[in-house]
Structures are given as structure tokens and as C-alpha cells.
Amino acid sequence: MSLKDPTSNLQPIDDDFGDSGADAAPRMYGPGYGGETMRPSFRYMLFVEHIDMCQNINKPTHYTTEYDTNNLVVRRGQEFIIRVTFSRLLTQQDDFQLEFLIGPNPSHNKGSLVVVTFNTRHGGPWSGRVINMEGPSAVLGITPSPNAIVGKFRTYVAILVGGEMQRTKRDQSTDLYLLFNAWCPEDPVFLPNEEERREYVLNDMGIIYQGNASTVTPRSWMYGQFEKGILDACIYILDSSRMPIFNRGNVIKLVRKGSAMINSQDDNGVLVGNWSNDYSMGTRPTAWTGSVKILLKYANTGVPVCFAQCWVFAGVFNTFLRCFGIPSRVITNFSSAHDNTGNLKTDLIFNMDGTPDRRNTRDSIWNYHCWNEVNMVRYDLPPGYGGWQVVDATPQETSDGHYRCGPASVNAIKKGLLCHPFDAGFVLLRLVNSDVVFLKRDKYGTLTPFKVDTTHVGQALYTKAVGSNAPVNVTQTYKYPEGELKPDEATMLRAEEFGCERDHSDVPAGQVCLLGADMKVEVAFQNHGNTPTSVERPLFLCCAAEKKVPLTVSAQEYMPRLSSQLSLHVVVTAQFGGQSVADSKCSLYFPKTCFHRSLWSLCLVLQVSDMPQVGQDMFVTVSFTNVLQIPLENVTVCLDGAGLTELRTHFYAIIPPQGSISWQETIRPRLSGVRVFIAILYCEALPYVSNLLNPLPLGLSSRTLKYEFGVLSILPDYYF
């Protein structure tokens, strides 16, 4: 990148052309204004009286009506119209053009200054036509090229007068935003299915799956890509990264830059990661309801926002992508490995007594990890490797010098083709197909493998279904079924051909619990020997026998040790004959919402009074009952909803056992259609409680809607 390449799209620019051209707008009032009499020379002069961006026509056809901005938002590769009213009727001798500029010091050869002509004279890469003439008004059609720069453009009308161009004055009301276009077959982000376009581009609410493979639980997330200020905030992120303006039409480069900028690891990006359970210097990751507050705070301050974990990085990145018109979705991988050595193995080291050696174990396994997928054509790869691509904004390892990941072809990952850019090997080795190797260190420091698990990592990958809140299992897009040994083994062998190591040693499900209750754990001991064996507890096992031992962990013991994920990992070790045995970690998971109502009775309930209608006040009541046997202190309750309200919060010093709270807010919806409220509650003892997402049938004839499922239909303002 040259030091002179423009990198700012939102920099205020008052005058693009200086004194190089006269104004094509009148410097005095036209006829009929103030009773002034036109001079003959002025009467025949051609100038622009008004520019109408025709937002009411353009926004619906470009699917941009929901963007809360005063300016026109359109998508590239698709025609939009502008009505230009001149001072008189146009003649054959009149020559004018439209000019669209982006960033400082725009130039033709960089694509940041685009000239659109309406006669036989050659213009720029965008095409133009005169659709209709209505007296002195010309209805003009402009079609941006399908690879045009994405961002905020300034609009001018230039008229050729006496051999020089006279341009309209700078007018911010005629600025327009240009986005990627999933409806345009020539755009690399084209998505042929209309239902998928509405889900992966237009849906401003989503579900991110958490938990583990046996207990998949939904978490609501407000993407809010259409909310006020979000489009400018996403452009500000690119400006902060100093990404050259002329590169912003390249979806691969824009996605890679976004992946790096959503985290702040090395470039002062949007979010600060924190996995320490100490969030005293910021907001705990479980407290966020969506992306809007995060992005606006970053755009207003320029300071990274504290704090985030993988689902927050993925949720904010998804907003960034959809805001620019790039089809995207959040993927959750259950049992996700972090292979620091990049050798197709996740090494878990144990001491002689069977306890985990945390000091020397560099690799780790997360109960889940979230990343994003984007849909695009990959012209830089062989045919067949376009479509969904993995991108990950959680800072883990560097790619070309920055903490980022992707885009990596999902199809290439499945086939083990690690040679294809970008970071396919990183995704395969760390997330999807890593072998888990259990190693024991003897008294001499030698490591010996005693167990290899080739199926634990990447047990299941889920995303939200198109058009519903149900989860969709997409595991088979990343890896072959475990029963199909030959294809999956071929993937791993192909990965080894690219220099990755595997372990070929010959060596010998989660449980759901009720939070606040004592935890029951059952340990099964098996004696595979030919002689009876005693195990320290004491426990006597006959040869070829199995015995199950129940253990109880009280709530007082485990509650202080719960992390923000409300899960525990248990390692069982036993001693016999001077030797030790250890079992792999067992995940004990506490569902976060009332999704598992028989096991978990904590849930926020929402009630809506009156029939919801755009522009009309409605009342929303959030209520909660603490059924635990412990008091909840310093409790925060949040209410949010895309197109409904900005984030609202309420604080309670204490909610005693069996105590209830109720909080009412007045809401005035902005957008019609099916809308979703997100309500969450959090405190130190209870990191996250929410309302359930699955919709119930809503009787709109009722004046009060019991609404714990968070979904309702908003009537348009012209309904009555």
C-alpha cells in the first residue's frame, strides 16, 4: 500500500473540486422566487435545481428499507434511479454527467471517482440511461459495476458549459451507501436462494448455540445491522484499519480485514478477549444482548470494548458482514480443539498420579467454539471451492502477521486440502479433525501415550436454520461421517502430506444438572485383569467385573467454581497397585435458559400490553422469580430488540430466594413484521438467564400477550 493511498471513507469533505469548475446550481433564485425577473442570459442557462435520490423507490427494490439512515442505501450490480430537475428542458446539445466519489483524493484509475454518462460519450465502469423525461426533470437509471467499491459515495451532477464542467455544490443529502449484492449473479457474494438471502443477509436477529454436543442450548443475539449508526460504525472499522479505499470492493480482502479488526489483539480493533472470569474492568461477555452497543461504543470512542469471548466475536463479526451485504452465519463447533503445535494432535499431559499437568499442556479442548461462515465465489481457487468459507475473529493465531482466520473453503477443509488459502490447515487441525492424545509423564520426564481419541474433536457443528429458530447440523459439510472410515482417513492422510503429524500409537457424554442442587456423579470402575483388585476409596473389584460408585458434590462446593459458561469439567483418577488411572474430562452442563424447563426453572417472562404497531407506544413488562435457595445480588436486567428499542437496563441490589421482580418499559416500534425481544438477567452468582426464543402462537385479539418466548408481529403504521 502506498503512503498516499486514501484510507478514510468517513472523513468530512466539503469541496471535492475546489475552484476547478463553476457551480451547476444557481447562485440566485430562479423564476417565481421572490418575484425576481430573470435576465435573458440567465433564462437559457442550464443548471440543476434539485436532485431527488428517490429513496421510496430504490430502497424496497434493493432490500435496504430497514437501514435507519437519511441517505440512500443501494446494492452494486443493480440499477437505481435518480431524478434530476434542471432549470429548463434539455436539448440535443446539452451534455451532462453524474459523478460518484468515495474517499479523499478520488481517482478514475482506482475506481474511487466514477463518471456516468447518458449519451454516446464514454464514461466509467458504471452504466447510465435516461429512463424518462418529465418536463425539465430527467429520471436517470444508474447501474454500479458488480465489483464496485463498497462504502459511502458523494454525488455530483456536472454540466458541460463553454468547454468546462460546472458541478453542483456539495450536498450531504445526496450521499449514498453502496453495498455488496447477494441478489446479483455477477457479484462474488451472489446467493441464488431467496430464503437464504433473507436469512443470511436481511435477518437482524439470530441464535448462537452453546453448551456441549449432548446439551445444545440456544442463545439469542441481536445483530442489528440496520440500526442507526451501525453502517457508519462498520465503515469506521475499515477506516481505523487503514484499509485502502480501492480494495474495499474485494470481498476476500474486506473479510480478512474485518476478521483482524473485530479483535483488538494487535491492531486496536473492536473487542478485547477475556477468558479469566475477572471482568471488573469492563462488561462480562454473557452480559451482551447483541452487537449494536458494542459497535456504537467503539465508533464513538475509538477504544476497544471490554470484554468478549468466541460467541461475542462471532456475533459482532456477523453484524459487520451482513451490514455490508455479505451472506454470513454463525457456526458452533462442539468439542473444539486448540492445537497450538499445528500437528493434527491435541496433546493432554498427565502427571504420574493421574492429575492433569496444566503447566506443560499447551493444547486445550473447548466445550464449544463459535466462528462465522461467509458465502462467496473464490476466483483464486480451483472450481468447486467457492460457497461457504470459514472466517474467525477470535484471536488465536496470526495469519499474514495479524490475528485473524480465513476465508477458508469448507469444501477444501473436508477434503484435507490445506494448500488452499486462507488458513484451511489451521481450521482443520485446531477445530475439526484433531486427534486427542492422552500422555502420561513418568519419573524421568518421558511422555508415553496411554489413550488416543480420534472422534472427540468436532463432534457436531450447528447453525441456525433458514426461516426458523431450529438448529441445523452442518457437521457433514466439514468432515465425513465417522462410520465412513475411508473418506475421512483420506482427509487426514492428505493433511499429513502437507507436513502435519499424527499419532499412530497403539494404546488401550455430558450430563445435565440442576443449578443450585447437589450434583450426582457416577463413576464406573472396570477390572480387565485376571485377579481381584482393590482401588483406593476403598473399593474391591473381582476379576472381569464392573462396579459403579455414586459420588455427591454439594452446591456449596461447586457454585463458587462455576465459570461464565455454567459448566464443570471433572477429572477422575484412581490408585491401584502403586499405579494410577485417569479418565478423560467429563462435562457437566447446566442449561442457561428455560429451554430445559423440567431441569431449570429460571426464566424471564415478558408481557406485551396492547396490539403492537409501528410508531405507537406499547408496554413491555419483564418479570423474574428467583427459585434458588441463595439470594442474587447486584442483578442487572437488559431489554433489547432490533427495530423495537435500543438497549435498556434496570438494576436490582438484591433478589432474595423465592423473591420476584417486575420491570415495565414503554416501547415504540420502528419496523413492522416479525420482531424479537431479547431479555437477559445476570449477576455474579448467575452469569446468564434469558427469555426463550421458540415462538408461541400469539392471539392478537388479546389486549395482553404473555410473551416469554420473545417473538411477536408488529403491525405497520397504516394498519388501522
Q: Cite the active site residues.
A: 310, 369, 392
Cα–Cα distance for residue pair 310/395, rounded to 1 Å: 9
Q: How far apart are CA 653 and CA 637, in angstroms?
A: 11
Q: Are 123 and 97 in contact (CB under 8 A)?
A: yes
Distance between CA 455 and CA 475 in Å, rounded?
12
Determine how many CB atoms are found less than 10 A away from the CB of residue 546: 11
**For residue 152, what is the enclosing H or E element?**
strand 151-161
C-alpha 635/C-alpha 647 separation (Å) is 16
Among candidate residues 94, 83, 56, 86, the one with its CA nearest the CA of residue 72: 56
Q: Which of 50, 270, 283 lies closest to 174, judged by CA?
A: 50
What number of helices (H) and strands (E) belong to the chain? 12, 44
Cβ count near 240 (within 10 Å): 18
CA dihedral 142, 148, 151, 156 (to 10 degrees): -40
Contact of 209 with 219, CB cutoff 8 Å: yes
CA distance 520 to 550: 7
| Geometric angle at alpha carbon 396, from 393 and 402, rounded to 5° | 70
User: What is the maximum alpha-carbon separation in the chain?
Assistant: 118
The sign one gets for the Cα dihedral 442, 446, 447, 448 is negative
The three-state DSSP-derived secondary structure of 12-78 is CCCCCCCCCCCECCCCCCCCCCCCCCCCHHHHCCCCEEEEECCHHHHHHHCCCCCCCCCCEEEECCC
CB of 166 within 8 A of CB of 24? yes
Q: Closest by alpha carbon to 210, among 589, 476, 574, 616? A: 589
CA distances from 446 to 48, 234, 347, 435, 449 (A): 83, 51, 14, 20, 10
389 contacts 376 by C-beta, under 8 angstroms: yes
Q: Determine the 3-state secondary structure of 616 from DSSP.
A: coil
How big is the CA angle at 499 (ends 494 and 503), to the nearest 5 degrees?
80
Looking up cell 465412513 gives 484
The Cα 140–Cα 137 span in angstroms is 9
Place of cell 453502496: 178
**Beta bridge partners of residue 329, listed in sequence order:** 373
Helix (H) / strand (E) element for 390: namely strand 387-392
